[in-house]
Structure 1
């Protein structure tokens, strides 16, 4: 009988945690988790897919798409007509805050390519947030906001 109780206790302990303390992420989004870890962030939780949409010029013309895509270091033209999936994670070790930071990883066909970040202690003042790496639009593109906006509107319209 003691062996049965011990086996039950071990089973319950294993069921309560995965043994490694690692955050569980669906297989199809494990590259996004690795993408964040490669940047030096500690993934605290996976919050799920929060959005999916086809990237069109119309998305790039309007807010918030214009600014969100302006925060990416990739050329949006590469993803026009493609499905974009946005996965939310909570991380620590991010340059924007010593606390928790919500990061939104952008994926196409399971491949992460960028995203946005919002420190949990600074919501409300962030507008469209920062790049995945905590940079402003001006820092991402090495240009002033008015110059960036003018070039963006010439390319995608207003």
Structure 2
């Protein structure tokens, strides 16, 4: 009888925990390894995680990769230069967050992608969580390339190509 009562009580506890999360409420995720570093980095910025998108990609950073648009856009909004990480494996983890400057500015949830190498978060980037919006990545703090560099896109691109483009190898 005691085992039956304990079993019923246990089922009720699990049901109440499961029902306490309404749709749109973040359910805790058990982060492991590099995910923990990414989560801590997000929290250090003051953002609230509402969902976890998982591991998005892994690549070894090479100078030649910086010639690809996606990689140039991601690294253009980092506080450290990419050459600090040449030859290192970078893994990117995705999250949807609240309390982000883009959320306040655009009235949309914000996605942040955190880059991790050697168990340490090294940076990230953000963008609106919407299928209707396209464009380049924002910094992790929601700033555009022009705000970070003080350059127009054309001037920045010329400098980027000079440093990392095909001609830079000669």
TM-score scaled by length of structure 2: 0.80
1:133 is displaced (CA, Å) by 1.1
The alignment covers a number of residue pairs equal to 155
2:12 is matched with 9
Q: Residue 139 in 1 paired to residue 157 in 2?
A: no
Where in structure 1 are there 5+ consecutive unaligned residues? Answer: none
Q: Residue 126 in 1 paired to residue 134 in 2?
A: yes
Q: Secondary structure at the match of 2:101?
A: coil
Greater CA radius of gyration, 1 or 2?
2
Note closer, same or farther for the CA distance 1:3–1:130 as it changes in structure 2 (3 Å cut).
same
Alignment of 1:1-158 (within 5 A): 1=1, 3-4=5-6, 5-13=8-16, 16=18, 23-28=28-33, 29-97=35-103, 98-121=107-130, 123-158=131-166
1:3 is displaced (CA, Å) by 3.0
What is the RMSD computed on CA atoms of the aligned residues? 2.4
Note closer, same or farther for the CA distance 1:120–1:63 as it changes in structure 2 (3 Å cut).
same
Contact 2:94/2:111 (8 A) holds in 1 = yes
1:55 is displaced (CA, Å) by 0.6
